[in-house]
Chain A
């Protein structure tokens, strides 16, 4: 099977194998989700009405 990587950009400086000593043993998904919610909620982009209209015209 051919696997296609979606990885197209990696920044140097991260080392997944060298985790912080404060890394929790178990991922607390709720806390993680809440962290992402708090952090990423402002990061939202609206494609605008025009694009929606363009889709509706194409169907």
Chain B
């Protein structure tokens, strides 16, 4: 599909965006924790993706999503860099209820509530991780980045990236036990 777009099939980009939109958006949202900002960065990400594809900057290695996530990651860093310079407001202040998954719209009410609770609990767990650990988890799960790519992206060694993942998993398991969570829909 990437090749199709590069070769001039303009409709291919819509297919590509739709294929990856939820993972990219979720990655941005969980990182930035602000819906409005996440929507802006989501758009910026794909506009940059399109510009890069048009400019021949994408080397197709079958890891399109990872590449998109890395672009999103860089835009997030740019955002925080600007925010730091401007000493602006907290990024948590406009967090809103985001249980807007299409998948849930067909569920019955009870399942919807349980799903929402599970989502909420998982999100709390993720938010309780230290930022460096959460970053690795999100890049790995939503972007499918290798640890080498994560290390490059976050400017640390592979061992550090692996270590952060290790502690993230330990912490997540510990939190699940402590909070006695059951993250399953019955």
Q: Residues of A at under 8 Å CB distance from B? A: 3-4, 6-11, 14, 16, 19-20, 23-24, 27, 29, 32-33, 35-40, 42-48, 51-52, 54-56, 58-59
Which of chain B's residues 133-186 have a Cβ closer than 8 Å to chain A?
A: 135, 137, 140-142, 147, 154-155, 162-163, 165-167, 169-174, 183, 185
Q: How far is the CA of A19 from the CA of B170 in the complex (A)?
A: 8
Q: How far is the CA of A46 from the CA of B163 in the complex (A)?
A: 31
Q: Count of chain B residues with Cβ under 8 Å from any Cβ of A?
A: 63
Q: How far is the CA of A39 from the CA of B124 in the complex (A)?
A: 12
With A4-B81, A9-B131: A43-B170 Cβ-Cβ less than 8 Å: no
Interface assignment of B95: CB less than 8 Å from any CB of chain A: no
CB distance from A57 to the nearest CB of B (A): 10
**B119 to A46, Cβ gap below 8 A?**
no
CB distance from B41 to the nearest CB of A (A): 11
Q: Residues of B at under 8 Å CB distance from A? A: 13-14, 17-18, 21-23, 25-26, 29-30, 38-39, 42-43, 46-47, 50, 76-77, 80-81, 84, 91, 98, 100-103, 115, 118-119, 122-123, 125-132, 135, 137, 140-142, 147, 154-155, 162-163, 165-167, 169-174, 183, 185
With A42-B115, A45-B101: A32-B169 Cβ-Cβ less than 8 Å: yes
**B174 to A20, Cβ gap below 8 A?**
yes
Given A6, A14, A20, A29, which contacts B80 in the complex, CB threshold below 8 Å? Answer: A6
**B122 to A46, Cβ gap below 8 A?**
no
